[in-house]
Amino acid sequence: MAAVSRRSIPAFLQKRLLTWYRRHRRRLPWRDDPQPYRVWVSELMLQQTQVKTVLPYFERFMNRFPSVKALAAASEQDVLGAWSGLGYYRRARSLHQAAQSIVEEKGGRLPETLEEWMALPGVGRYTAGAILSIAYGKRVPILDGNVARVLSRLFLLRGDPRSASTRKTLWRAAADSLPNRSVSDFNQALMELGALVCTPRQPKCLLCPLRHSCQARRRGLQEELPELAPRQASLAVVLTAAVVRRRGKVLLYQRQEEELLQGLWELPGGTCRMDEEPRSALAREVRENYGLRLEPGEQVARVKHNIMNRRITLHAFNARLRGRAGMEKKPRVWIEPEKVRDYPVSSMTLKVLRQVARRVPPSCPRE
């Protein structure tokens, strides 16, 4: 069969892709019940986050905030608490702000046009298109990383999909490829194909319903496309943190407005200087940044965490609170470890507390 020559998916391939999708698609809660609010929440959660990670968060979030009005009525701390551990908290703040705007300005009626959706915080062209096509069945294209990869290979499109010119070409190909019917399934099929078959590395070409028409496969270039520019080199960062206990509770502090991840609660700690031993750095950091005098004890956790271009290693120590070294500079709270998910807690703090919980019995200094 000849490869497609035009940058649009012909009707016979559309039908083949839809048949494949209906047989092999994953059962996902926002697909089983594709109401606009649910699709919107799922799309924001799925940004830079894997489906398997999102699933439990989505269910908890829907139970806690079952409608846009319920979300708008919640406090930011409650919303961040429900998002706790999912990362990229700007998404949660944007979702909350958008919900409040919808309730205040539209009486809770969700938008129904591309322009209305894109006017909301945190909603770009892709997210708006996904909501309109999946939830409303409107004939609107989508272009996420999975779709861009499928189209780049199918049509042998050169160039970095993140560049303006290549992205414009891809958007046009996505729009020209839309069927007249079943747009919801078709757009989800493109995303699902990229997620399950047309993967970034070692694509499963023999399982692909489009394989006979894929120009990249015909030329043996499927693993060379899309032509992504090299990512920024990652930076290794070493952090240190203190686990301070009092009567079964753990001490957490809240990040302030001028800081990254503002509003989240975390263990007191900081950054190790070059060639500085983590235990020594901990005593210095909490004295300078929290106004506390701590006596670090044994190391109880070591976690890895990546955020943006930073590769973080965090060393956590049991510690005894010895007094103050000045005025405390941040809000603090004592939390029972089993209730920590009720607060908006940073992902690294959650990882540390999980490791600490597995240490039985705890051997630590207490306040």
43 annotated active-site: yes
Residue carrying structure tokens 């998910």: 341
**Low-confidence spans in the chain with pLDDT less than 70:** 1-5, 257-260, 326-329, 360-367
Q: How many CB atoms lie within 10 A of CB 162?
A: 12
So what's the pLDDT on residue 138?
Answer: 97
How many alpha carbons lie under 13 Å from residue 121 in its C-beta half-sphere?
13
Tokens of 128: 């708006």
The residue among 313, 319, 247 whose CA lies nearest residue 290 is: 319
User: How would you class 338 by CB atoms within 10 Å of its CB: exposed for 0-12, middle for 13-18, buried for 19 or more?
Assistant: exposed
Catalytic site residue from 43, 192, 266, 285 = 43
So what's the pLDDT on residue 343?
Answer: 84
Tokens of 236: 């290794």
pTM (2 d.p.): 0.85
Helix, strand, coil percentages, rounded to 5, for the chain: 45, 15, 40
Find out whether 260 and 291 touch, Cβ atoms under 8 Å.
Answer: no
So what's the pLDDT on residue 1?
Answer: 52
Find out whether 363 and 329 touch, Cβ atoms under 8 Å.
Answer: no
What Å distances lie between residue 274 and 191, 259, 271, 348, CA to CA?
43, 22, 10, 21
Gap between the Cα atoms of 29 and 109, Å rounded: 22
Find out whether 320 and 367 touch, Cβ atoms under 8 Å.
Answer: yes
So what's the pLDDT on residue 234?
Answer: 83
CATH 2.40.110.10 assigned to domain 11-218? The reply is no
So what's the pLDDT on residue 367?
Answer: 45
Residue 202 CA to its chain's centroid (Å): 24
Domain spans of the chain, in order of start: 11-218, 235-357
Q: Which letter does DSSP use for residue 126 in this model? A: H
CATH topology for the 235-357 domain: Nucleoside Triphosphate Pyrophosphohydrolase (3.90.79)
